[in-house]
Amino acid sequence: MQTQIKICGLSNEASIDAAAASGASHIGLVHFEKSPRHVPLDQAAALRMRAPSSVKVVLLLVNADPGLTAKAIEIVKPDIVQFHGTQTAEWLRLLKSVVSIEIWKAFGVKDVATLKNADQYEGAADLILFDAPAQALPGGTGHRFDWSLLTQHQHKLPWGLAGGLNPENVHDALYQTRAQLVDTSSGVESAPGIKDVDKIGAFCQAVRDYDNS
């Protein structure tokens, strides 16, 4: 089974084309004004239309209130909404009951207790994304967490790995964690918010090399 690949924080057509051509299974669009990867909803909707049907589009929201969440889903029409922040399992279960798209929940991993806390989202999220702990921004910081925390954890939900992944370390990350999905953003950039199409290609190739090894 091939590892799924998400290239997050895309903001132009060239980066979407590069991700699709390189074999990414998912692309991420960030709607969070404090992020250097922020795209307004109308721009996100246009970029969403650029993605081929073989690639799932993930809309990333950070502590968005119910009104903004509903508006964003209506305008962008993503395949998946990825939530960063303090959303409760109860709120996501309610949302899941009224929308027909996938819901992902990101967790900043500090210790084993963080992993166990993610278990409460069973039935509320379709996938848990384990990321580095939030700093000035909730993601895309280029920092990683201790991957060894995942080696003995019994996952109750499908899950993915994020945080500091790049073309040089993703093979090792997969070897250590056996992640089902890997997610990169700053690891394939030449500057904050500026994607490098060669790095996107190299990241995807490194994942496929792992799959074939």
Quickly list H helices, 89-195: 89-96, 112-118, 170-177
- 3 state SS of 9: coil
Q: How many domains does the chain have?
A: 1
The pLDDT of residue 208 is: 98
> Mind listing the pLDDT tens digit for each residue in 103-160?
999 999 988 888 888 999 999 999 999 998 865 555 556 678 899 999 888 899 999 9
State which amino acid sits at residue 18.
A
Distance in angstroms between the alpha carbons of the first and the last residue of the chain: 12
Spatial CB neighbours of 213, under 8 Å, sequence gap ≥ 6 = 171
- Quote the CA–CA distance of 146 and 8 in Å, as a whole number: 21
Query: Which residue range forms the structural domain that includes residue 43?
Result: 4-212
Q: How far is CA 149 from CA 9, 134, 152, in A?
A: 26, 17, 7
Q: Is the pLDDT of residue 185 over 90?
A: yes
Give the CATH number for residue 194.
Answer: 3.20.20.70
> Mind listing the pLDDT tens digit for each residue in 187-212?
999 999 999 999 999 999 999 999 99
Q: The whole model's pTM is what?
A: 0.94
Angle (deg, nearest 10), helices 41-50 and 13-22? 40
Tokens 């949302």 belong to residue = 95
> Mind listing the pLDDT tens digit for each residue in 168-183?
999 999 999 999 999 9
> Mind listing the pLDDT tens digit for each residue in 68-117?
999 999 999 999 999 999 999 999 999 999 999 999 999 999 888 888 88
Q: How is residue 19 written in tokens?
A: 């991700």
